[in-house]
Amino acid sequence: MLLTALRYSHQLLKEIVSEGDHVIDATMGNGNDTLFLAELVGETGQVYAFDIQEQALQNTREKIADYKERTTLFLAGHETIEEKIAADQPIKAAIFNLGYLPKSDKQIITLPETTKQAMQAILKRLTTGGRMIIVIYYGHEGGEAEKNEVIDFCQKLPQEEFRVLNYQFINQRNSPPILLCVEKKSD
């Protein structure tokens, strides 16, 4: 059976993330990806998770209670990655879930400008073979514009340095999510 975008994102992360890696959850939301990544990086790895909403931070803090020592939660937008994570810190993987926090204010959404800023900061730190996963939920006001800008950004990445995968169901109603995976090639 074909995997949903969310399940496939976890499969793509599981293939490359291992004990000791440093990873980013650029949109912590309810903490599901933060928890998943914390389990993958083990006791010696580190997860950096970002969100602008206090509710997201609280939800995630509860979910990762057993993994506090390997997670750093930032009540800050992902556009602050450049200032919050050292420039020389290698990042093995990152994940974004673009859109809004489920069961919350649908007016608080990710924005193309800050998302692209975060993606650039991640790509600078991404290790060879590392992956940046972007799951785009776009069935809300502002979502279509962000989807188009993020896809355009990824399409323009140099093929000598990156492979970009686009995974989506094309015969489903209600704007099914699109998964993009950017993988860094060897230097």
pTM of this structure: 0.95
DSSP readout, the chain? Answer: -PPPHHHHHHHHHHTT--TT-EEEES--TTSHHHHHHHHHHTTT-EEEEEES-HHHHHHHHHHTGGGGGGEEEEEB-GGGHHHHS-TT--EEEEEEEESB-TTS-TT-B--HHHHHHHHHHHHHHEEEEEEEEEEE--SSTTHHHHHHHHHHHHHTS-TTTEEEEEEE-SS-SS---EEEEEEEPP-
pLDDT digits (tens, 9 = 90+) for 39-50: 999 999 999 999
For residue 118, the enclosing domain spans 5-184
Mean per-residue pLDDT for 14-25? 98
Question: Residue 96 CB: number of other CB atoms within 10 A?
Answer: 25
Domain count, the chain: 1
pLDDT digits (tens, 9 = 90+) for 76-123: 999 999 999 999 999 999 999 998 767 676 777 788 899 999 999 999
pLDDT digits (tens, 9 = 90+) for 133-161: 999 999 888 889 999 999 999 999 999 99
Question: Could you tell me the CA-to-CA distances from 102 to 29, 30, 32, 93 in Å, in that order?
Answer: 8, 8, 12, 23
The CATH number given to whatever domain includes residue 23 is 3.40.50.150
